[in-house]
Amino acid sequence: RVAMSYRRGALIVLEGVDRAGKTTQCKKLVQALQESGRPAEMMRFPDRTTKMGKLISAYLEKKSNLEDHTVHLLFSANRWELVPLMRQKLEQGVTLVVDRYAFSGVAFTSAKPGFSLEWCMSPDVGLPKPDLVLFLQLHPAAAEQRGEFGAERYENSDFQKTVLQRFEQLMKDPSLNWQVIDAAKSIEDLHKQIKTHSDTAITTAESQPIGELWK
Footprint of ligand TMP (CB under 6 A): 18, 45-46, 60, 75, 100, 104-105, 108, 154
CB of residue 35 vs ligand TMP: minimum separation in angstroms? 25
User: Closer CB to ligand TMP, residue 109 or residue 198?
Assistant: 109
Sequence-separated (6 or more) residues with CB below 8 Å from residue 95: 9, 10, 11, 12, 33, 38, 39, 40, 41, 198, 202
Inter-CA distances, 135 with 12, 91, 169, 183, Å: 11, 25, 13, 9
User: Rounded to whole angstroms, how far apart are CA atoms 174 and 34?
Assistant: 30
User: Closer CB to ligand TMP, residue 93 or residue 119?
Assistant: 119
CB of residue 52 vs ligand TMP: minimum separation in angstroms? 11
Q: At what angle do helices 22-35 and 187-206 cross, to 10 degrees?
A: 60
User: Closer CB to ligand TMP, residue 75 or residue 202?
Assistant: 75
The residue type found at 51 is: K
Supply the DSSP symbol for 94.
P
User: Rounded to whole angstroms, how far apart are CA atoms 72 and 68?
Assistant: 6
The residue type found at 7 is: R
CB of residue 108 vs ligand TMP: minimum separation in angstroms? 3
User: Closer CB to ligand TMP, residue 46 or residue 202?
Assistant: 46
User: Closer CB to ligand TMP, residue 104 or residue 137?
Assistant: 104
CB of residue 9 vs ligand TMP: minimum separation in angstroms? 21
The residue type found at 9 is: G
Sequence-separated (6 or more) residues with CB below 8 Å from residue 158: none
CB of residue 17 vs ligand TMP: minimum separation in angstroms? 9
